[in-house]
Amino acid sequence: AAAEPIVGGQGRPGFVRVRGAREHNLKDVSLDIPRDALVVFTGVSGSGKSSLAFGTLYAEAQRRYLESVSPYARRLFHQMPVPEVDEIDGLPPAVALQQQRGSPTTRSSVGSVSTLSNSLRMLYSRAGDYPAGQALLYAESFSPNTPEGACPECSGLGRVYEVTEQSLVPDDSLTIRERAVAAWPPAWHGQNLRDILVTMGYDVDTPWRDLPKKDRDWILYTDETPTVPVYAGLTPEQTRAALKREDTPSYQGTFTGARRYVLQTFANTESASMKKRVARYMVSTECPLCRGKRLRQEALSVTFAGADIADISRMPLARLHAMLQPYAGGKAQGGKTASDKRRAKLHPEQMIVTQRIAEDLVARLDVLLALGLGYLALERSTPTLSPGELQRLRLATQVRSNLFGVVYVLDEPSAGLHPADTEALLVALDQLKASGNSLFVVEHALDVIRRADWIVDVGPAAGERGGEVLYSGPPEGLKKIEASQTRRYLFDDAPPAVRARRESNGWLRLEGVTRNNLDNLSVEFPLGVLTAVTGVSGSGKSSLVSQVLVDLVATELGQGAPAPELDEADDLEQEAAIPTQGRIVTGMESLRRMVRVDQKPIGRTPRSNLATYTGLFDQVRKLFAATKMARARRYDAGRFSFNVAKGRCETCAGEGSVMVELLFLPSVYAPCPTCEGARYNAKTLEVTYKDRNIAEVLGMTVDAAAEFFAGEPLVERSLEVLREVGLGYLRLGQPATELSGGEAQRIKLATELQRAGRGNTLYILDEPTTGLHPSDADRLVNQLERLVDAGNTVVVVEHTMRVVAACDWVIDIGPGAGDEGGTVVAAGTPEAVARAKHSRTAAYLRACLA
Ligand code: ADP
Ligand code: ADP
Ligand code: ZN
Ligand code: ZN
Task: Pick the atom of ligand 1 nearest to 743's CA.
Answer: 16
Ligand 2 pocket, residue 580 CB under 6 Å: no
Report the pLDDT value the prediction gives residue 310, as an integer from 0 to 100: 97
The closest alpha carbon to 726, from 773, 682, 765, belongs to 773
Q: In terms of DSSP bridges, do strands 530-534 and 793-797 run parallel, antiparallel, or are they unpaired? A: parallel
Alpha helices in 444-494 (DSSP H): 446-449, 485-491
Answer whether 516 contacts ligand 2 (Cβ < 6 A): yes
Q: How far is the CA of 509 from the centre of ligand 2 (A)?
A: 22
**3-state secondary structure at position 407:** strand
Residues 817 and 838 in one domain: yes
d(CA 155, ligand 3 centre) in Å: 7
ipTM entry: 0.95
Question: Lowest-confidence range among 311-315, 339-343, 638-642?
Answer: 339-343
Percent of the chain with pLDDT over 90: 68
Taking the CA of 286 as reference, the closest ligand is 3
CA–centroid distance, 144 to ligand 3, in Å, is: 9
Closest by Cα among 733, 755, 483, 479 to 608? 733
Q: How far, in Å, is the centroid of ligand 2 from the Cα of 424?
A: 20
- Ligand closest to 295 (CA) is 3
pLDDT computed for residue 499 by the predictor: 77
Strands 407-411 and 15-21 turn out to be unpaired
- Whether residue 98 is contained in a domain is answered as yes
Q: What is the mean pLDDT of residues 562-568?
A: 40
- Ligand 2, atom 24, lies closest to the CA of 384
From the CB of 533, is ligand 2 less than 6 Å away? no
Q: Would you say the pTM of this structure is higher than 0.95?
A: no
* Ligand at shortest distance from the CA of 736: 1
Claim to verify: residue 278 and residue 335 sit in the same structural domain? no
What residues flank ion ligand 3 with Cβ within 5 A? 151, 153-154, 287, 289-290
Distance of CA 833 to the CA centre of its chain: 31
C-beta separation of 84 from 48 below 8 A: no
Pocket residues for ligand 1 (CB within 6 Å)? 24-25, 43, 45-51, 462-463, 729, 738, 740
Give the number of the ligand closest to the Cα of residue 23: 1
Evaluate: CB of 372 within 6 angstroms of ligand 2: no
Smallest CA separation from ligand 1 atom 17, residue = 24
246 found inside a domain: yes
Mean of per-residue pLDDT scores for the chain: 89
Range of the domain at 119: 110-150+302-370
Binding site membership of 517 for ligand 2 (Cβ less than 6 Å)? yes
Residue 831 pLDDT? 96
Q: Give me the pLDDT at residue 570, please.
A: 40
Q: Is the model's pLDDT at 640 over the cut of 60? A: yes
CB-ligand 2 contact for 802 (6 Å cutoff): no
Q: Is the pLDDT of residue 649 over 90?
A: yes
Distances in Å between the Cα of 81 and the Cα atoms of 23, 440, 467, 668 are 10, 20, 19, 10
What average pLDDT does this structure show over 84-109? 77
Q: Which residue's CA is the nearest one to ligand 1's atom 20?
A: 738
Best probe residue, ligand 2, of 384, 393, 542 (max atoms within 8 Å of C-beta): 542
**Bigger pLDDT: 587 vs 76:** 587
Query: Which ligand 2 atom lies nearest to the CA of residue 818?
Result: 14
Sign (positive/negative) of CA torsion 512, 523, 786, 459? negative
The ligand with the least distance to the CA atom of 291 is 3
Residue 297 included in any domain: no
pLDDT reading at 567 higher than 50: no
Write the CATH number for 22: 3.40.50.300
Q: How far is the CA of 539 from the centre of ligand 2 (A)?
A: 8
pLDDT digits (tens, 9 = 90+) for 483-496: 999 999 999 866 67
pLDDT score, position 463: 87
Nearest listed ligand to the Cα of residue 671:
4
What pLDDT shows up at residue 604? 81
Residue 627 predicted with pLDDT over 60: yes
Instruction: Examine the domain organization and report whether 532 and 625 are in the same domain.
Output: no
For residue 571, count other CB atoms closer than 10 A to its CB. 16
By three-state DSSP, how is residue 528 classified?
A: coil
In a domain, 474, yes or no: yes
- Of 370, 402, 421, at which residue does a domain stop? 370
Confidence of residue 576 (pLDDT cuts 50, 70, 90): very low
Burial of 345 (0-12, 13-18, 19+ CB in 10 A): exposed
Whether 564 and 577 have beta carbons less than 8 Å apart is answered as yes
pLDDT at res. 188: 84
398 and 349 co-located in one domain: no
The answer to whether residues 273 and 344 belong to one domain is: no
Ligand 2 in contact with 110 (CB < 6 A)?
Answer: no
125 lines ligand 2 (CB under 6 A): no
Cβ neighbours for 217, distance < 8 A, ≥ 6 positions apart:
none
**Would you say residue 823 lies in a domain?**
yes
- The set of residues, in sequence order, having a beta carbon less than 8 Å from that of 673 and lying 6+ positions away, is 651, 658
Q: Give me the mean pLDDT over the 511-534 stretch.
A: 97
Nearest to 510 by CA among 585, 446, 569: 585
**764: CB partners within 8 A, 6+ apart:** 545, 546, 549, 550, 594, 595, 596, 597, 795, 796
More confident residue, 577 or 513: 513
Same domain, 528 and 592: yes
Domain count, the chain: 5
User: How far, in Å, is the centroid of ligand 1 from the Cα of 604?
Assistant: 17
Whether residue 9 is contained in a domain is answered as no
Considering the domain architecture, whether residues 587 and 651 belong to the same structural domain is answered as no
Same domain, 97 and 127: no
> What is the pLDDT averaged over residues 51-59?
94
Q: What is the pLDDT of residue 757?
A: 65
pLDDT at residue 262, as a whole number: 94
Alpha-carbon dihedral angle through residues 88, 93, 95, 98, given to the nearest 10 degrees: 10
Q: Give the residue from 458, 491, 524 where a domain finishes.
A: 491
Please answer whether residues 731 and 701 qualify as being in contact, where contact means their C-beta atoms are separated by less than 8 angstroms. yes
Ligand 3 centre to CA of 150 (Å) is: 8
What atom in ligand 1 is closest to the CA of residue 55? 6
**402-417 residue pLDDT tens:** 788 999 999 999 988 8
pLDDT at 103: 44
Q: Is the pLDDT of residue 758 over 80?
A: no
Per cent of the chain over pLDDT 70 is 91
Q: Kindly state the average pLDDT of the residues 762-773.
A: 92
Other C-beta atoms lying within 10 Å of the C-beta of residue 343: 18
The answer to whether residues 48 and 64 belong to one domain is: yes
Under 8 Å between Cβ of 317 and 327: no
Q: For residue range 320-336, list pLDDT tens digits in order.
A: 999 999 999 755 454 56
Q: Give the pLDDT of residue 392.
A: 86
In this predicted structure, what is the pLDDT of residue 620? 97
Highest mean pLDDT among 50-64, 72-86, 483-497, 573-587: 50-64
Does residue 638 sit in the same domain as residue 724? yes
* pLDDT single digits (tens) 262-290: 999 988 887 777 888 888 899 988 999 99
Of the candidate ranges 199-203, 335-339, 442-446, 556-560, the one whose mean pLDDT is the lowest: 335-339
pLDDT surpassing 80 at residue 159: yes
Final residue before a domain boundary, out of 704, 738, 772: 738
Ligand 2 pocket member 538 (CB < 6 A): yes
Cα-Cα-Cα-Cα dihedral sign, residues 719, 721, 725, 726: positive
Same domain, 192 and 237: yes
What are the distances in angstroms from CA 227 to CA 195, 212, 248, 376, 501? 12, 23, 15, 54, 75
Atom of ligand 2 nearest to the CA of 813: 3
Least confident of 98-107, 662-671, 700-709, 818-827: 98-107
Q: Which ligand is nearest to the CA of 648?
A: 4
Confidence at residue 493, expressed as pLDDT on a 0 to 100 scale: 67
Phi, psi of 212 (to 5 degrees): -60, 145
* Rounded alpha-carbon distances, angstroms, from residue 775 to 99, 159, 720, 796: 22, 49, 19, 18
Q: How far is the C-alpha of 160 from the C-alpha of 169, rounded, in Å?
A: 20
Query: Would residue 272 count as lying in a domain?
Result: yes
pLDDT at 666 over 80: no
Domain assignment present for residue 749? The answer is no
What CATH number should be reported for the domain holding residue 207?
Answer: 1.10.8.280
Q: What is the pLDDT of residue 268?
A: 86
In sequence order, what are the beta bridge partners of 177?
Answer: none
Identify whether residues 325 and 262 lie together within a single domain.
no
Q: Is the pLDDT of residue 660 over 80?
A: no
Provide the pLDDT for residue 224: 94
Mean pLDDT confidence for 543-549: 94
Higher-confidence residue: 239 or 658? 239
Q: Return the half-sphere exposure (C-beta side, CA atoms, 13 A cut-off) of residue 274.
A: 14
Q: Residue 199's pLDDT is what? A: 95
Rounded CA separation 726/461 (Å): 10
First to last CA, the chain: 52
Is residue 741 very low, low, confident or very high in pLDDT (cuts 50, 70, 90)? confident
pLDDT bin (cut points 50, 70, 90) of residue 572 is very low
Q: Which residue among 368, 414, 543, 545 is best mutated to probe the pocket of ligand 2, counting the most ligand atoms within 8 A of its Cβ?
A: 543
| pLDDT tier, 187 (very low <50, low <70, confident <90, very high otherwise) | confident
Q: What is the dihedral of CA 481, 484, 490, 493, to 10 degrees?
A: 80
**What is the domain-level CATH number for residue 115?**
1.20.1580.10
Q: How far apart are CA 599 and CA 601, in angstroms?
A: 6
- Cα distance between residue 743 and residue 751, in whole Å: 12
CA angle at 840 for the pair 836 and 845, rounded to the nearest 5°: 70
